[in-house]
Amino acid sequence: MPRPVRKSSCATRIAQPCSPAQQAENFRRSRRDRATEVAQDYVEAIADLSDSLGEARVVDLARRLGVTHVTVNRTLSRLQQAGYVNTRPYRSIFLTDAGRRLAAECKRRHETVVAFLRSLGISEKISELDAEGIEHHVSPETLAAFERRLTRR
C-alpha cells in the first residue's frame, strides 16, 4: 500500500516527481536554513570566546569551528552585512546588539536541548553532540514542551 502524499514537500511524494520550480524552492530553503545554522554557530562561538578569552579572533573561531581562516573571514563578512558583528582588519570581532540577542537565544536553546536529553538518561557527550543539530531545527512549540517537562522534574 503506498504511503500518503504530503503536500509540504515533493521529496516525500511517490506518485509524481517535483516540478523544477518546487525543486528550486526546496534547494533555496535548504540553503537558507543552512546559512541560518552557520550564523547561529558563529555568533554563539564569538560570544563564548569573548566571555572566556576576553575577545574573539579569526584564528580562535577557525580553531573552535574546525574551518579555515578564509572560511571564517567570508562568513564574518556575511554576518556583518546581516548586522550581527562588527569587524575591523587585525582586530577582535564584536557582536552587535542583534548578534548578542541571537547568541543568547542560541545558547538558551542549546542548554534546553542538552538538559532535556540528559533528563532522558543520555550521556553528556552524546547530549552535547546531538544538541548541536537539534538546537537549530527544534520548533518553538517543541522547545517550550522541553522546558515544561524540565520544570516538572
DSSP 8-class letter at 153: -
Q: Flag whether pLDDT at 10 surpasses 50.
A: yes
Q: Flag whether pLDDT at 17 surpasses 80.
A: no
3-state secondary structure of 138: coil
Q: How confident is the model at residue 4 (pLDDT cuts 50, 70, 90)?
A: very low
The Cα 114–Cα 107 span in angstroms is: 10
CATH fold of the domain at 19-98: Arc Repressor Mutant, subunit A (1.10.10)
Average pLDDT over residues 32-41: 83
Average pLDDT over residues 92-100: 96
Output the average pLDDT for the chain.
87
All structural domains of the chain with their residue ranges: 19-98, 104-151
Q: What is the CATH number of domain 104-151?
A: 1.10.60.10
Average pLDDT over residues 39-44: 94
In degrees, rounded to 5, the angle at the alpha carbon of residue 55 between the alpha carbons of residues 52 and 57 is 115
Q: Flag whether pLDDT at 21 surpasses 90.
A: no
Q: Are the C-beta atoms of residues 61 and 25 closer than 8 Å to each other?
A: no
Give 109-131 pLDDT, tens digit per residue.
999 999 999 999 999 999 999 99
Q: Flag whether pLDDT at 9 surpasses 80.
A: no
